[in-house]
Amino acid sequence: MTEKIRVLVFGTVGTGKTSLCNTLSGADEAVSNQARGVTFTSKVFKPFEDKESGKSIELVDTAGLNEAESGNVPGQEAIKQLAQLLKNSEEGYNLLIQVFRASSITALEIDNYDLFVKRVANSRIPVILVVTGCELSDPMSEWREKNRIYFEKSHLIYKDIICTCFAKGDERASLGASLEAIYALLREESRRAVLTAITTYAGETVTFYDTTGQDSEMSFGKMLSRVWEFCRERLNLPLLGEMATEALVQFLINVLGFDEPAARTAVNIFKRDQTSQTSSEEDW
Ligand SMILES: Nc1nc2c(ncn2[C@@H]2O[C@H](COP(=O)(O)OP(=O)(O)OP(=O)(O)O)[C@@H](O)[C@H]2O)c(=O)[nH]1
Ligand SMILES: [Mg+2]
């Protein structure tokens, strides 16, 4: 049986997530050319085969946090995007890929890591970092050596850090066409390096929460508490535990898109978790 490797790609707006997914999968989704993001909802790419390993890979491209959502401005959008992602994640993932842009690393990268790696995935899914925009380093991996100290200090832990370029030159312009000749080589080198890392580090399939309700550490309630806490710190939301049962049910239906029976079951699990929980979020 050929197992499918499911990979969730996340990172700050405009870092090159869709460019990476397009290059790996051979798709042609729109990429952004401004600071404003273009990928607002998660997108599941058509699975493709990695010729070297014979494995099938499915990439899920998601909208990352941007300035507004990471700051103090209430941002329903951030929660909606996250909700959509959780809905699309029933199959689980084998690997997370965070994407950084070499030239613009901010506190947002740490926020994204905190949200996706720690809170959503509960640190149970291996994560690799793809750094885009390394075309000015020669070889591209030089960027990693130069920035080693950042990773030692930031507590961002990755199985591997891959320095890449997924840019495309505009072939209609003469400078663009000459650049494209170089970019095409770098994209190919990057594609191979990322595919090797995916097949090397992908682990068991892990869902964000245990739908059978047997693993209490992975319960829906705990996952919801972790994610809610992250949003609450930034978006002025009420404490989850204090929300009335009915308000929480309505939130799951209206914002997270659950159907009513699923929402009621989830809230019951959450309330049960709350009462059996001694102290929460102690590990991080
Ligand atoms: N110089 C350079 N540009 C890149 C690289 N990778 C992507 N880009 C460009 O960066 C811009 C944003 O790329 P996207 O792939 O849309 O980034 P994204 O993370 O999907 O963006 P959102 O969906 O808006 O969050 C595009 O113009 C890409 O061509 C790279 O390695 N180097
Ligand atoms: Mg995108």
| pLDDT, tens digit, 9 for 90 and up, residues 105-139 | 888 899 889 989 998 899 999 999 999 999 999 99
**Predicted local distance difference test score (pLDDT) of residue 278:** 44
Ligand 2 centroid vs 10 CA: distance in angstroms? 9
Write the residue with the smallest CA distance to atom 1 of ligand 1: 133
* Backbone φ/ψ region at 257: left (φ over 0), alpha (ψ -120 to 50), beta: left
Q: In order of start, what are the domains of the chain with their CATH numbers?
A: 4-201 (3.40.50.300), 216-276 (no CATH)
Residue whose CB lies within 8 A of the most ligand 1 atoms, among 31, 33, 42, for a mutation test: 31
Answer yes or no: is the C-beta of 19 below 6 A from any ligand 1 atom: yes
Residue predicted with more confidence, 177 or 249 = 249
Ligand 1 centroid vs 45 CA: distance in angstroms? 17
Contact 11, 112 (CB under 8 A): yes
| Lowest pLDDT segment from 12-16, 114-118, 241-245 | 241-245
Q: What is the mean pLDDT of residues 147-172?
A: 91
CA-based radius of gyration for the chain: 20
Residue whose CB lies within 8 A of the most ligand 1 atoms, among 9, 10, 15, 19, for a mutation test: 19
Ligand 2 centroid vs 215 CA: distance in angstroms? 34
Q: What is the mean pLDDT of residues 271-284?
A: 54
**Predicted local distance difference test score (pLDDT) of residue 130:** 98
- Tell which atom from ligand 1 comes closest to the C-alpha of 14: 21
**Top mean-pLDDT range of 87-96, 151-160, 164-173, 192-201:** 192-201
Contact 40, 81 (CB under 8 A): yes
Q: Is the pLDDT of residue 103 over 70?
A: yes
Q: For residue 195, give every residue at least 6 positions away whose Cβ sits within 8 Å of its Cβ, in sequence order, or none.
A: 24, 50, 52, 53, 57
Query: For residues 166 and 136, what is the distance between their CA atoms, to the nearest angstrom?
Result: 13
Ligand 1 centroid vs 84 CA: distance in angstroms? 22
Residue 34 sits at φ, ψ, to 5 deg, of -130, 175
Ligand 1 centroid vs 246 CA: distance in angstroms? 42
Q: What is the mean pLDDT of residues 40-64?
A: 89
**Predicted local distance difference test score (pLDDT) of residue 118:** 92
Q: What is the mean pLDDT of residues 215-229?
A: 77
**Predicted local distance difference test score (pLDDT) of residue 14:** 87
Q: Is the pLDDT of residue 76 over 70?
A: no
Mean pLDDT of the chain: 83
Ligand 1 centroid vs 13 CA: distance in angstroms? 9
Query: For residues 160 and 144, what is the distance between their CA atoms, to the nearest angstrom?
Result: 10
Residue predicted with more confidence, 22 or 247 = 22
In this prediction, residue 89 has a pLDDT band, given cuts at 50, 70 and 90, of confident
Nearest to 224, CA basis, from 278, 259, 270, 272: 270
Write the residue with the smallest CA distance to atom 5 of ligand 1: 167
Q: What is the mean pLDDT of residues 244-258?
A: 79
Give the tens place of pLDDT for each residue, 178-206.
889 999 999 999 999 999 999 999 999 99
List beta partners, residue 7: 59, 95
Answer yes or no: is the C-beta of 100 below 6 A from any ligand 1 atom: no
**Top mean-pLDDT range of 50-64, 220-234, 246-260:** 50-64
Tell me the pTM. 0.87
Answer yes or no: is the C-beta of 168 below 6 A from any ligand 1 atom: yes
Answer yes or no: is the C-beta of 112 below 6 A from any ligand 1 atom: no
* Token couple for 93: 């993932």
In this prediction, residue 1 has a pLDDT band, given cuts at 50, 70 and 90, of very low
- Residue 207 is given by DSSP the state -
Side chain identity at residue 45, one-letter code? F
Query: For residues 111 and 113, what is the distance between their CA atoms, to the nearest angstrom?
Result: 5
Which ligand ends up closest to the CA of 34? 1
Taking the CA atoms of residue 20, residue 25, residue 29 and residue 31 in that order, the dihedral angle to the nearest 10 degrees is 10
Residue 17: Cβ-neighbour burial (10 angstroms; 0-12, 13-18, 19+): buried
Ligand 2 centroid vs 74 CA: distance in angstroms? 22
Residue predicted with more confidence, 279 or 28 = 28
- Tell which atom from ligand 1 comes closest to the C-alpha of 36: 24
**Predicted local distance difference test score (pLDDT) of residue 34:** 53
Q: Is the pLDDT of residue 36 over 60?
A: no
Question: DSSP 3-state assignment of 168?
Answer: coil
In this prediction, residue 79 has a pLDDT band, given cuts at 50, 70 and 90, of low
Residue whose CB lies within 8 A of the most ligand 1 atoms, among 13, 32, 70, for a mutation test: 32
